[in-house]
Amino acid sequence: MLTALKVRLYPNKEQQIALAKNFGCCRFVWNYYLNKTNTQYQETGKGLSYYDMAKDLTQLKKHENFLWLKEASSSALQQSLKNLEAALKNFFEHRAGFPKFKSKHRKQSLRYPAGCSIKNNGIQLPKLGVVKAVISKKLGSEIKSVTVSKDSTDKYFAAILWEVEDTLTIEDGKISGIDLGLNSLVTVFDGETTYKVDPIKPTRKYAKRLRRRQQSLSRKKLGSNNRKKQVKKVAKVHQKIANTRLDFLHKLSRKLVDENQVIVVEDICVKGVARTKLAKSVLDAGFGMLVNFLASKLKRVGGTLVEVDKFFPSTKLCNYCKFKNDSLTLKDREWTCPKCGTHHDRDSNATKNIREEGIRILSTNTDGQSELQACGEDLRLVSNSTKKRSSVKQESPVIASA
């Protein structure tokens, strides 16, 4: 199994200049061959393959106007072509948008696919030597690749990829259902107890600082050095917001994975919810990021993540008598079941239903889809299949009681 570690780099002045040249060469190669394959596709209906681009790059480096390309690592330039070919393939297979031209005014990155090692509290990189780094743990095997990046605040990072043995450390654990929300980021039910974790809302926390720095930026003259300095100050606030959210979600996901063997979550369409008036709060919470962290951490320790179909009525369904309350609205945080009279906390009831549905999915070995879908639309299944099937009924496999 492959795993990665992101570390902070501290290159000296000479290494910073060398990295700037490598960033520029890789960016030029990407843009040059993206433009070239676009032109050829318009003329002939067929683009360039990696073999065609790599063969042409060898001749391009010998041209007198492009001799400066030899200053960069040849493996990094070839990796840039491989990344371009992969991006084009993803576009034509409808997995991503069309690749864009790279800009020198944004985040810079390049990948070294070989020739990297850990030496003297640093990372040995091709044509750069040993770059000082802060490595938090020991790497037990050969490095597969290193991706070096420079962010908008002029900080350097390296993402180290290496292979580790598959270790299944979870033998006995709990099965917990998790309901994601805005008032409480997660509501967790493990079969016995229920607890909630509130969101930290980093965007709102640093909104005042961000507003002041953006106001100062708007007063700076275009193209001036003061404006460039202020741009970095604004970027640092955005970085602080992102790092605060990232740190919180990593710690929360680690706690949940350490306590549970199976975690059941609801499949939320974040893009769809982000089109509503709750967009700022939804994106600030980082639902998708949290689920991704849970999935990756569970995979490393042999746990299981189960995603319940988004059309399963976890909120409206009474956990005791299974009555579905269609009159429930978003503002109703507590409700009483009209059939059995049980008083429910909205989030606690939802997470109990999610946990039960996850256990049902595990027992029947299904792929997380409800047996009955919302009527009328063709819905893409959450599985490896790309086929679609027509839904036949509203909401879920639960039959509403009169």
Task: Give phi and psi for 211, each to the nearest 5.
Answer: -60, -45
Give the pLDDT of residue 363: 84
- Entry pTM: 0.78
Write out the E strands in 246-296.
260-266
DSSP 275: T
Total Cβ atoms within 10 A of residue 369: 21
Q: How far is CA 78 from CA 25, 272, 348, 363, in A?
A: 11, 38, 53, 48
pLDDT, averaged per 10 consecutive residues of the chain (402 residues), comes to 87 94 94 94 90 93 92 93 94 92 90 88 89 84 88 91 70 81 88 89 93 95 92 93 94 91 87 83 89 90 87 84 83 83 85 88 65 34 36 37 38
Separation CA 130–CA 371 (nearest Å): 57
Give the pLDDT of residue 109: 93
Q: Are 139 and 6 in contact (CB under 8 A)?
A: no
Give the pLDDT of residue 183: 86
One-letter identity of residue 12: N
Q: Count of alpha carbons within 13 Å of 288, Cβ hemisphere only?
A: 9
One-letter identity of residue 127: K
Q: Which two tokens stand for residue 114?
A: 């070989």
Q: In degrees to the nearest 10, what's the CA dihedral of 274, 275, 279, 284?
A: 30
| Residue 157, beta-bridge partner list | 8, 149
Q: Which two tokens stand for residue 166?
A: 């598959």
Task: Give phi and psi for 57, each to the nearest 5.
Answer: -65, -35
Q: Name the 3-class secondary structure at 393.
A: coil
Residues listed for the chain: 402
Active-site positions read 179, 266, 347
Q: Are 306 and 156 in contact (CB under 8 A)?
A: no
Separation CA 184–CA 162 (nearest Å): 37
Residue that has been written with the tokens 């433009």 in this structure: 35
Q: Count of alpha carbons within 13 Å of 373, Cβ hemisphere only?
A: 16
Q: Which two tokens stand for residue 383?
A: 């599985």
Q: How far is CA 346 from CA 309, 316, 319, 330, 333, in A?
A: 19, 8, 11, 10, 5
